[in-house]
Amino acid sequence: MATVSNNNIARAIYLAVKDKHTTEQHTVIKNVVNFLFRRRMLSKSKNILQSLNNIVNHANGVVEVKIWSKYKLSHDHKDHLEKILKKRYGDKEFIFLEYLDDKLLGGFNMEVNNELIDLTLKNKIYKLQEHLKTEYE
């Protein structure tokens, strides 16, 4: 029996639901849940939903930006960050998902389209240290 990937299931759900009315969507979703139950794949539903979310966001030109910082970012910081991201990733809509991390000294980590951008104070100090070492060796 061939295995079906989470991404394939999510893509099938998206294609089956995308141009349907609400009642038809409910029928499709019930059939998907029954399929997952019969195949003993309900435990994968969280990953399937994440894949479906990524597919829908991509289709709608939306990019999720995950941010880990010590403190909550202000509205002005988010606006400035959005301008920078639009230059880098194009004119898309950005959704900021913020996570507080007490371990950070300052700055923040950011994940955009599976790309990790480390703008933490610890990383900047490390880079400065490495630069100074190579400068004087």
Tell me how far apart the alpha carbons of residues 130 and 32 are, in angstroms, rounded to a whole number.
Answer: 53
Stretch 37-57: mean pLDDT: 91
Element (H, E) at 62: strand 62-69
CATH number of the 61-135 domain: 3.40.30
In angstroms, the Cα distances linking 1 to 4, 97, 119 are 10, 39, 46
**Res 89: pLDDT:** 87
Give percent of the chain above pLDDT 90: 54
Residue span(s) of the chain under CATH 3.40.30 come to 61-135
* pLDDT at residue 1 greater than cutoff 60: no
Stretch 57-78: mean pLDDT: 91
* Spatial CB neighbours of 13, under 8 Å, sequence gap ≥ 6: 28, 29, 32, 48, 52
- pLDDT bin (cut points 50, 70, 90) of residue 67 is very high
Stretch 64-70: mean pLDDT: 93
- pLDDT bin (cut points 50, 70, 90) of residue 2 is low
* pLDDT at residue 8 greater than cutoff 70: yes
**Res 116: pLDDT:** 92
Tell me how far apart the alpha carbons of residues 93 and 112 are, in angstroms, rounded to a whole number.
Answer: 12
* pLDDT at residue 48 greater than cutoff 90: yes
Give percent of the chain above pLDDT 70: 96
Stretch 45-73: mean pLDDT: 91
